[in-house]
Chain A
Amino acid sequence: MSQITTASGVSARPFSFLGLGRRRRSQMRGKWPVLVLFLPPALLLFTVFVILPMGEAAWYSFFNWNGYGLPTQWIGWKNYELVFKQSAFRNALVNNGLIILISICIQVPLAMWLATMVTRNIKGATFFRLIFFLPYVLADVAAGLIWRFVYDGEFGLVANIARAFGQTPPFWLADKQVAFYAVLAVIVWKYFGFHMMLFIAGLQSLDKSVLEAADIDGATGWQKFYRVTLPLLGSTVRLSIFFAVVGSLQLFDMIMPLTGGGPSNSTQTLVTFLFSFGVMRMQVGFGSAVGVILFIICVTLAFSYKRVFMKND
């Protein structure tokens, strides 16, 4: 490598002054061998395991099929009707919406607040950042099981606290009125550190002179935050919400150890619904219909969110 760069360090210059700019790409001879060798592995794998299955899901969703033999029993839109008739599916939709709502109302402000604190000039700030990020690195399954223990009505931490105050220990995860709120708390616990890192990055990229100018003008800490920092962090807020939406639509791993979607389907999300009603029962048509709905939601949200909210970023 050094041989090439040193040998041609001089001769490279004449080519770049031709005025075509930094982005100009020269072409080497023999581009076909590289295309034929370098593209197909990724292309094949991606087509076979990502694109084709998605197309097949759309096709299978019109059949009543248990996955064996060939799909023959065409039933039109029936699977979609069945999906929307399920109250568990409506629960899942509402729950996915709640996750997004919680993340906007609690997670984003919390992450931003913590980010402003751990970027202050205090000892141990780095340590706190690490601790806050730690849950994000843990596997969802492990986090789910840990909180299953925390919430356990007999041996868990909540039960221990309740007994210390002379109360009967509650079984939150078994109570369909409360279970999903308990799950939401775990979601915030698991992911706020990631969002905090986004805000730290956002804060670090801020133009310091603006804040200094505000200082000179005698702005108080709160004024500085509300009038200067917050408006400048707009793109980070939108990014953070975007990740919360994406995360909500794939949430599965953490629900399974916590509640498995129960009690009485009160904690289903779209993916756990797909799993319990499509995969577990090998209802390929029905499950594929759920997959297609999930796909449409994902793509619509991704496009509209990018177009409407992130167009300037």
Chain B
Amino acid sequence: MTELTATPIDAATAPTGGRRLSTRTQTYLYACLIIVAAIVVVPLLTTAFGGFRTIGDLRGNAFGIPKEWIWSNYGDILFSQRYWLQMGNSLLIAVLTVFLTLLFASMAAFTFAHVKFFGSDFLLNYFLVGLMFPAATAILPLFIRIRDLGLLDTYWGVVLPQVAFGLGMSILLFRNYFRNLPTELFDAAFVDGAGYFRFFWHISLPLSRPIIATVGIISFVGSWNSYILPLIMLNSESKYPWPLGIMVYKGEFATDWQLILAFITLTILPTVIVFFAAQKHIIAGLTAGAVK
């Protein structure tokens, strides 16, 4: 586990060799791939199209082209305050989480990579304990702690635990990356009389863009999609990030599926767009922690 580094797998686009395939093999391959792709895509597309329907249309014709395009399902949501408020809340929480995770993890990882001090191995393993269990195990004491600190129903009540639980993986990724930078850099800075702070700020960080991107993507996606922490820490609807907001919306409109589908579509749309725009980075980032 400690030797885990962020070797990005270029699984999205890496060219793959092999000889040319016979037409029969190709037909078989395409048939299989298209069936699996359909199972993935049909629920998503019917959700998006469902947002344009009337409820009656949904009942009898969920797969076809909408008989009548009801633009107001989407329009009402796009012109509503709650949609933008929830997106804004999610964005704010995610940005704060990413910023603090990058800052604290890179600083701590730097000391583990470059400073010899008594107990450094112990402390690193201490952080790695956090990799072994999910936040949910200690969710009740965490709730009580946040309440006693007066952070209940604030963004910080969500951000700080998220940062804390992301530290283990982030410190590990940063530390391994820092350690793999050429030793000569350190020697050079040492000879030139640069201190640790200059070395960190002017050499380590500028050379670490790939790992900053990786850790940033992991913590952004985690925070953007997170549900259980905000569910427990936030009370006022005006502070809800979108995964909570969408559940409230579902509760309000119970079986008005056409509206719920439109709402789902609009909330996942940013994710889908960003994913297709930056697929290579996102796939490499999200699988980085997994592959040695």
Contacts and interface: CB of A to CB of B under 8 A. Distances in A.
B75 interface: no
Given A137-B221, A145-B264, 9 more contacts: A28-B195, A33-B197, A35-B111, A49-B145, A125-B16, A154-B255, A291-B138, A291-B139, A294-B134
- Interface of chain B: mostly helix, strand, loop or mixed: helix
- Interface of chain A: mostly helix, strand, loop or mixed: helix
A54 interface: yes
Name the interface size band of chain A: 35 or more
Given A121-B21, A149-B260, A288-B140, A45 B160 contact: yes
Interface stretch (B65-73, B76-84, B283-291): B283-291
A42 to B, nearest CB: 4
Contacts of B139: 274-275, 279, 287, 291
B210 interface: no
A154 B59 CA distance: 7
19 contacts: A16-B184, A34-B195, A45-B163, A49-B165, A54-B137, A117-B32, A119-B18, A121-B16, A125-B16, A129-B11, A130-B279, A135-B40, A138-B271, A138-B272, A146-B43, A274-B139, A284-B144, A294-B133, A298-B134
B291 A42 contact: no
B164 A140 contact: no
A15 B127 contact: no
Contacts of B44: 134, 146
Interface in A124-164: 124-126, 128-142, 145-147, 149-150, 152, 154-157, 159-160, 163
Interface of B: 1, 9-14, 16-21, 26, 29-30, 32-33, 36-37, 39-44, 46-47, 50, 55, 58-63, 103-105, 107-108, 110-111, 114-117, 123, 126-127, 129-130, 132-134, 136-145, 160-161, 163-165, 167-168, 171, 183-192, 194-197, 199-200, 202-203, 206, 221, 224-225, 227-228, 232, 243, 246-247, 250, 255, 257, 260-261, 264, 267-268, 271-272, 275-276, 279, 282-283, 286-287, 290-292
Which 5 pairs across A and B sit closest by C-beta, in order of nearness? A49-B164, A139-B225, A53-B138, A201-B9, A56-B141
Contacts, number: 347
Nearest to A188: B39
A57 B138 contact: yes
A271 B61 CA distance: 37
A197 B287 contact: yes
B163 A194 contact: no
Interface stretch (A92-100, A175-183, A250-258): A250-258
Given A45-B164, A120-B16, A295 B133 contact: yes
A1 B202 CA distance: 6
